Structure 1
Amino acid sequence: MNITSLTIDAVRRGGLPAIRHRRNFWSGCFFFLTGGGFSVLAGQYPMGTASRMGAGFFPLCLGILLAAFGLLVILFSLSARRMAAPAPPWRAGKVLWVLGAATVFALLLEPAGLVISVSLLVLIASRASSQFTLRGALANTAVLVMLNVTLFIWGLDQLIPVWPAFISH
């Protein structure tokens, strides 16, 4: 028996399934709503056909895939048994570390360049983890800087500064 049939059986018996993994449940809700929102917004652009895609075709496909993934995550987070996992405590400090990291990245991308911005993003956001280690954060930073430069600068030829202006000129 899989989790989907257990969930459907619980609904048939008249009870709503319990949330087994709250973090997965809320992540699935986020993915589902984000994918649905992007799908709706993509509808404002011309779709075209599969052989001649319009501006809204690719965002619509990605939105549908993200919403479907979110629905799967939601289903797998539910349980037919009425035993719900205790809710983890909500810590505003962790959210602030992540939001602060994204803000620093957005503010520094143009003046400081991709390498410094991504490095600061990873190092600051890593502080939100209870398992933070400087070695792990530096390893993540190195990998993500290489991936971003490879993908966005070399692969997609984006006009994002790699280094600050005083270094690259």
Structure 2
Amino acid sequence: MNHTFDRYAGIVFLAVGAVFAIGSRSISTSAYGSNVGANIFPMVLGIALSLLSLRLIYESFRKQRAQKKRDNLDYKRFAVIFAAAVLYACFLEDIGFVISTFLFLLIGFQTMQRGRIWVSLLIAAAFSYGVYFLYVNVLDGSLPGFPAWLGLS
């Protein structure tokens, strides 16, 4: 682990998170058909990114130890997850939030750690439906539901 890189990356991510949180204040606070405005998601992400980057900066200063040799980068895993993210963005409206998020998480989990398919299926299903339920039913937001051809809408 390169602590110098982590420190600089933490500073950059802290700045990006602050820009997101501050910039989200200029976005409309209400959306048509939704009690949750378009500004909530970028503000929460900006705050989360800022807090996580503060933790990274703290850890990089705390652990000043000898740097180990550089790890080999895993381009294959990166390519699979990047392609899954692009496909997720492309098909979100067509197949709905729950199915596309489920497939993206399942691919991500299996790419990072092969095996334990049932655990991956359970976590991906619970997370994708849980987030959909909380956002749509509890917060009265709007997300693309299930596709019409399934008859679940």
Fold-level match, TM-score > 0.5? yes
> Which is richer in helix?
2
Query: 112, 122, 125: which is aligned to 1:142?
Result: 125
What residue in structure 2 maps to residue 67 of structure 1?
Answer: 50
Query: 69, 75, 79: which is aligned to 1:92?
Result: 75
CA distance in 2, matches of 1:131, 1:63: 32
CA distance in 2, matches of 1:134, 1:88: 28
Tell me which amino acid in the other structure corresponds to 1:103: V
What residue in structure 1 maps to residue 110 of structure 2?
Answer: 127
- How many aligned residue pairs are there? 140
Matches within 5 A, 1:1-169: 19=3, 28=10, 31-39=13-21, 41-42=23-24, 45=26, 63=46, 66-78=49-61, 79-81=63-65, 83-168=66-151
Equivalent pair of 1:35/1:63 in contact (CA under 8 Å):
yes
Structure 1 residues not aligned, in runs of 5+: 1-17, 47-54
Tell me which amino acid in the other structure corresponds to 1:126: F
What residue in structure 2 maps to residue 11 of structure 1?
Answer: none
TM-score w.r.t. length of structure 1: 0.63
- 1:87-134 CA-to-partner distances (Å, cap 9, x unmatched) read 321111111222222222212221111221111111121232145431
Q: Any idea what SS the aligned residue of 2:104 has? A: helix
Equivalent pair of 1:31/1:67 in contact (CA under 8 Å):
yes
CA distance in 1, matches of 2:97, 2:39: 28
Q: Pick the structure with greater CA Rg.
A: 1
The CA deviation at 1:167 is: 2.0
Flag the 1:165–1:127 CA change in 2: closer, same or farther, 3 A: same
Structure 2 residues not aligned, in runs of 5+: 28-37
Q: Any idea what SS the aligned residue of 1:125 has? A: helix
Equivalent pair of 1:19/1:85 in contact (CA under 8 Å):
no
Q: Give RMSD over aligned pairs.
A: 3.4
The CA deviation at 1:33 is: 4.0
Identity %: 25
CA distance in 2, matches of 1:112, 1:85: 45
TM-score w.r.t. length of structure 2: 0.68
Q: Any idea what SS the aligned residue of 1:88 has? A: coil
Flag the 1:128–1:67 CA change in 2: closer, same or farther, 3 A: same
CA distance in 1, matches of 2:11, 2:77: 20
CA distance in 2, matches of 1:132, 1:151: 29
